[in-house]
């Protein structure tokens, strides 16, 4: 924008030079007439430039004030001092005009029983108007938000908990820290907007490659341990205690470990002595799945290998994508939000252990605001990215029946999903290595988003791309309900302002002027 105004200014100088040459032309009386009108003409052009600059400053102040007002409005019982501090923080984070345009005054906050108004002003230095002694122009702006008293609202926060969320931007603020601040602010606003307990309910779905549903569901009829109990191909009967490991990473994608525990130390030989003598224990697959158990070798010079799966009590609560164990059979059940039934094994949710699992468990739909806040605090960065599994569990949290059994949805309830991720899809149950982009995962996300929108879910998506190095995320952009509901963010602090904007859009608060 500044380049545009600079170009206008340079163009004005060129125009002035041509006009000066024209007035010095003695070949006609028109030169005299034009010379008389030249000064007011140039002043008018200069004034329009300065007023355009003032309009730009006012627009930027209004935009930053809208976010600040929404932030303060999210805390109905906030003190005046805290309101002033909070509004100033949000304004400073979102006002991006160069200081040469003046420094806005401290933000003023006025709170009533039904609304919040924030104001500020600037004294903008002029450029061309200085010629006639006008050295500055006053610019003021304000924003008012009112509590909307939303009728019924369900919101699912589907939040990336992958390892890269620990990364910081140029200010040293990590993406995870900013996400927690933004989520707390959003919860405060939603709580304040509820006319009655339960009018607004929220679920939280932390995700990485998997989601963590907690171990309390281990006996649920909709949960399958088929992958958890599964064994790799049986080794040759010539391999036994003291022999070499039958698997190599470059062939099978996994190797041997010293025992059945997930994450046990690597080994190149089958134990000959000790508790695990003759145990052939596979490690982690290339797609991030732990083999949960070992082959027990028995016999002599012709070994029999018996698979011994780890007990289900060692399950850590991780759940991966639904569908057949060998893609593509049955994998559409997730993206269609199919109700799990015992008669269709591919429809059951799949338990597994993986190092790429969030430490924070999902929280089903509810309005225990303390529990929701604690869940946000428990989130920690870990693992690779599978946006699809987060998205489908967010959808399931607002769908009647198993696995999460939300309450009966009141007539007129608005269902909203907010999906935030800082990376590209790299791995799921069947595809990817955790580092490179997986088009298979992207394709599943597109199908799931399309079906959820057809079911009436309003979807907001946010792509956190620090410093803008990765461009935009086409899968997330396509997932959003429309272009206005997709956000590309290049700093951690923009997570906070984007969440505040979304709160305003979903109607918990509304900007009135």
pLDDT of residue 478: 97
pLDDT at 468 > cutoff 90: no
pLDDT at 415 > cutoff 80: yes
pLDDT of residue 417: 99
Kindly state the average pLDDT of the residues 424-450.
92
pLDDT of residue 3: 41
The fraction of the chain above a pLDDT of 70, given in percent, is 87
pLDDT at 49 > cutoff 90: no
The dihedral sign for the CA sequence 378, 382, 387, 390 = negative
pLDDT of residue 193: 81
Kind and range of the H or E run holding 377: helix 369-377
pLDDT of residue 148: 64
428 vs 472, higher pLDDT: 428
The neighbouring-strand residues paired with 168 are: 174
**CA 347 to each of CA 332, 342, 403, 448: distance values in angstroms, whole numbers, following the listed order:** 9, 8, 11, 15
pLDDT tens across 221-274, in order? 999 999 999 999 999 999 999 999 999 887 788 999 999 999 999 999 999 999
pLDDT of residue 456: 97
Round to the nearest angstrom and report the end-to-end CA distance of the chain: 25
Q: Are strands 318-320 and 363-366 parallel, antiparallel or unpaired?
A: unpaired
pLDDT of residue 42: 61
Residues contacting residue 161 through CB under 8 Å, at least 6 positions apart:
176, 206, 207, 208, 358, 359, 360, 379, 380, 381, 382, 383
- What is the Cα–Cα distance from 338 to 322, expressed in whole angstroms? 10
25 vs 372, higher pLDDT: 372
**Mean pLDDT, the chain, whole residue set:** 88
pLDDT tens across 417-434, in order? 999 999 899 999 998 888
Residues 95/105, Cβ–Cβ less than 8 Å: no
In 3D space, the residue among 441, 484, 203 whose CA is nearest the CA of residue 449 turns out to be 441
Kind and range of the H or E run holding 153: strand 153-160
pLDDT tens across 9-36, in order? 344 455 445 545 544 555 545 555 544 5
Q: Return the domain boundaries, the chain.
A: 2-142, 153-212+357-511, 232-311
179 vs 471, higher pLDDT: 179
pLDDT of residue 40: 65
Q: Which residues of 2-21 are buried (b: 16+ CB within 10 A; e: fewer)?
A: eeeeeeeeeebeeeeeeeee
Low-confidence winner among 93-97, 140-144, 319-323 (lowest mean pLDDT): 93-97
Q: Are strands 223-224 and 266-267 parallel, antiparallel or unpaired?
A: unpaired
The fraction of the chain above a pLDDT of 90, given in percent, is 64
pLDDT tens across 168-178, in order? 999 999 999 99
The CATH-assigned architecture of domain 153-212+357-511 is 3-Layer(aba) Sandwich (3.40)
Peptide bond into 403 cis (omega under 30): yes
């Amino acid at each position: 924008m500044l380049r545009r105004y600079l170009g206008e200014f340079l163009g004005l100088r060129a125009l002035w030079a041509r006009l000066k040459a024209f007035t010095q032309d003695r070949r006609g009386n028109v030169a005299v007439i034009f010379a008389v009108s030249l000064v007011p003409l140039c002043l008018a052009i200069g004034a329009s430039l300065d007023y355009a600059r003032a309009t730009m400053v006012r627009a930027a102040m209004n935009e930053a004030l809208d976010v600040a007002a929404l932030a303060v409005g999210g805390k109905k019982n906030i003190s005046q001092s805290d309101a002033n501090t909070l509004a100033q923080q949000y304004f400073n984070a979102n006002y991006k005009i160069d200081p040469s345009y003046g420094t806005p005054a401290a933000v003023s906050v006025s709170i009533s029983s039904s609304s919040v108004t924030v104001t500020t002003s600037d004294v903008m230095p002029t450029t061309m108007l200085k010629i006639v002694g006008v050295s500055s122009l006053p610019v003021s702006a304000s924003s008012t938000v009112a509590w909307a008293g939303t009728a019924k609202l369900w919101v699912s926060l589907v939040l990336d908990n992958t390892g890269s969320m620990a990364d910081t931007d140029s200010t040293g603020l990590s993406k995870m820290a900013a996400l927690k601040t933004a989520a707390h602010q959003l919860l405060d606003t939603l709580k304040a907007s509820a006319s009655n307990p339960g009018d607004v309910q929220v679920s939280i779905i932390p995700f990485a490659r998997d989601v963590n549903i907690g171990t309390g569901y281990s006996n649920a009829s909709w949960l399958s341990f088929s992958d958890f109990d599964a064994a790799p191909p049986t080794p040759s009967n010539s391999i036994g205690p003291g022999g070499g490991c039958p698997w190599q990473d470059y062939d099978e994608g996994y190797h041997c470990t010293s025992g059945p525990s997930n994450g046990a130390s690597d080994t190149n030989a089958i134990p000959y002595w000790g508790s695990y003598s003759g145990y052939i224990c596979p490690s982690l697959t290339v797609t991030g799945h732990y083999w949960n158990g070992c082959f027990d070798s028995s016999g002599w010079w012709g070994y029999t290998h018996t698979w011994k799966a780890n007990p289900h009590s060692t399950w850590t609560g991780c759940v991966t994508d639904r569908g057949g164990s060998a893609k593509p059979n049955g994998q559409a059940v997730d993206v269609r939000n199919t109700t799990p039934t015992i008669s269709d094994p591919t429809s059951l949710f799949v338990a597994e252990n993986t190092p790429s699992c969030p430490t924070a468990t999902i929280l089903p739909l509810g309005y225990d605001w303390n529990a929701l806040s604690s869940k946000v605090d428990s989130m920690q960065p870990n693992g690779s990215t599978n946006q699809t599994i987060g998205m489908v569990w967010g959808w399931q949290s607002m769908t009647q029946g198993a696995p999460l059994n939300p309450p009966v949805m009141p007539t007129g309830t608005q269902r909203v999903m907010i999906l935030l991720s800082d990376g590209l899809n790299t791995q799921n149950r069947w595809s990817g290595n955790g580092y490179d982009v997986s088009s298979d995962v992207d394709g599943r996300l597109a199908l799931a988003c399309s079906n959820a929108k057809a079911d009436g879910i309003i979807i907001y998506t946010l792509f956190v791309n620090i410093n803008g190095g990765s461009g935009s995320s086409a899968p997330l952009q396509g997932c959003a309900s429309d272009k206005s509901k997709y956000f590309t963010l290049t700093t951690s602090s923009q997570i906070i302002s984007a969440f505040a904007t979304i709160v305003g859009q979903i109607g918990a608060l509304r900007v009135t002027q």
